[in-house]
Amino acid sequence: MKREQIHSLAELGFLERKENVVLLGPPGVGKTHLAISLAIAAAQYGRRVYYSTLADLVSSLEEAQAAGTFKRRLAVLTHPSLLVVDEIGYVP
C-alpha cells in the first residue's frame, strides 16, 4: 500500500462517506496493524469502534441466536461507526 493511501485512510473520510475498506494481502504485511491503527484514530475522534475476528463474531452471533438475543447482538454490531472484522481468511 502506498504511503498516500495510508494517509488518506488515516483522515477517516471513508467513515463520513460510509464506505467499506477491505485490506487484502498475504500474512505478515500489516493488515491487522493498519486496521487497529484506523480503529484507534476513529476512537480518538469520538467514533464508536468494534473489533472482532470473524471466528469470534460468528460464534457470538450463534450464541445470541441460541439465547434468543440475536436482534440485540446485531444492534451492538451495527451501532459503531467502524466495525473491524479481522482474520476473515482464517477458519478454525
Specify the pTM. Answer: 0.86
- In the chain, what are the helix, strand and coil shares in percent, each to the nearest 5? 55, 10, 35
pLDDT of residue 86: 96
Q: Which domain holds residue 46?
A: 3-86
91 band by pLDDT with thresholds 50, 70 and 90: low
Say if 92 falls within a structural domain: no
Say if 91 falls within a structural domain: no
Looking from the CA of 45 toward its CB, the CA atoms found within 13 Å total 16
Burial of 7: CB neighbours in 10 Å, binned 0-12, 13-18, 19+: exposed
Domain count of the fold of the chain: 1
pLDDT of residue 1: 87
Say if 56 falls within a structural domain: yes
Give the model confidence (pLDDT) of 30-79 as tens digits. 999 999 999 999 999 999 999 999 999 999 999 999 999 999 999 999 99
pLDDT of residue 60: 96
Say if 64 falls within a structural domain: yes
